[in-house]
């Protein structure tokens, strides 16, 4: 593995590609539904098209609201974010019959970067259970010493082999694409918060934890410095 860093322009471009990837499917479904409405006269088919448009619009809105908090500025530099808002956008993102969210973090104002990290860890947990399951989110400690724990339980729960390296700012060929940018970005935000992220897996369970760097052990590598705009 090779330690590397992205300049601000490349990081922005890759994050933009990731967001576009997340919303292009529901937006495309909306376009398809509108085309059916234009061409179809059958009342039942038009009803199916309207249902598709409504569900796809809700999905696109949920994904955009989540991405706004997880990747965007979401307020002025140094601002705090209500963890209740973080819970809301996460529930909206996971609003399907496959995944249950157990959120045990009390509603408080928390520094923006820590909320961004929490949401990115939730996104990783969701990817770890492709067939659905249960995601449990908890935190311990006060603002300055807060630690997060996210457990993803489900059939075939797994974590991609390159995730720990990406969280540490490493890659096999010192390059990264839009599919890998999210865990890499999560690692940058974690370092900006003074937290170390660890991932462990066992049958049907993936656990992701973020702890203050001094509590996570002395074995962590040197932090990768993030562009200031990336984690503001």
Task: Provide the residue ranges of all domains of the chain, joining segments of one domain with +.
Answer: 8-20+78-212
Per-position b or e across 32-67, b if 16+ CB within 10 A of its CB: ebeebeeeeeeeeeeeebeebbeebeebbebbbbbb
Cα–Cα dist 21/25, whole Å? 7
CB atoms within 10 A of CB 147: 16
Q: Which of 120, 139, 137, 144 has the alpha carbon at shortest distance from 212?
A: 144
Q: Identify the pLDDT of residue 217.
A: 54
In this prediction, the residues of the chain whose per-residue pLDDT falls under 70 are 1-2, 74-78, 174, 215-232
Per-residue tokens: 118: 């929490």
* Residue (of 153, 154, 151, 90) closest to 123 by Cα position: 90
pLDDT at 116: 96
Rounded to whole angstroms, how far apart are CA atoms 92 and 181?
23
Tens digits of residue pLDDT in 89-113:
999 999 877 899 999 999 999 999 9
Alpha carbon distance 114, 148 (integer Å): 9
Rounded Cα–Cα distance for residues 214 and 210 (Å) = 12
Q: What is the pLDDT of residue 224?
A: 36
For 51-73, how does the pLDDT look when each residue is reduced to its tens digit (9 = 90+)?
999 999 999 999 999 999 999 87
Alpha-carbon distance of 194 to 216, in angstroms, equals 11
Backbone angles phi, psi at 198, to 5 degrees: -125, 150
Burial class (CB in 10 A: 0-12, 13-18, 19+), 1: middle
Are 112 and 82 spatial neighbours (Cβ–Cβ below 8 Å)? Answer: no
* Parallel, antiparallel or unpaired: strands 170-171 and 80-82: unpaired
| Predicted TM-score of the model (pTM) | 0.85
Query: Which phi and psi (to 5°) does residue 131 adopt?
Result: -95, 5
Looking at the DSSP bridge assignments, the partners of residue 198 are 209
* CATH number for domain 8-20+78-212, candidates 3.30.565.10, 3.40.640.10, 3.30.160.270, 3.40.50.300: 3.30.565.10
Is there a contact between 37 and 46 (Cβ–Cβ < 8 Å)?
yes
pLDDT for 151 equals: 97
């Amino acid at each position: 593995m090779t330690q590397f860093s992205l300049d601000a322009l490349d990081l922005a471009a890759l994050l933009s590609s990731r967001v576009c990837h997340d919303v292009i499917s529901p937006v495309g479904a909306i376009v398809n539904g509108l085309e059916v409405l234009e061409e179809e006269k059958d009342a039942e088919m038009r009803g199916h098209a309207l249902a598709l448009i409504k569900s796809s619009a809700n999905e696109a809105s949920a994904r955009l609201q989540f991405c706004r908090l997880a990747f965007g500025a979401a307020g002025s530099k140094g601002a705090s974010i209500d963890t209740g808002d973080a819970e809301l956008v996460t529930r909206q993102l996971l609003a399907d019959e496959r995944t249950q969210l157990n959120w045990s973090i009390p509603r408080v104002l928390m520094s923006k970067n820590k909320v961004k990290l929490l949401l990115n860890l939730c996104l990783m947990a969701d990817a770890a259970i492709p067939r659905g399951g249960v995601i449990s989110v908890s935190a311990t400690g006060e603002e300055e010493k807060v630690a997060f724990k996210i457990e993803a339980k489900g059939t075939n729960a797994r974590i991609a082999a390159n995730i720990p390296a990406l969280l540490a700012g490493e890659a096999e060929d010192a390059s990264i694409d839009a599919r890998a940018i999210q865990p890499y970005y999560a690692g940058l935000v974690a370092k900006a918060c003074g937290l170390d992220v660890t991932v462990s897996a066992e049958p049907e369970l993936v656990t992701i934890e973020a702890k203050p760097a001094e509590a996570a052990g002395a074995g962590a590598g040197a932090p990768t410095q993030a562009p200031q705009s990336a984690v503001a």
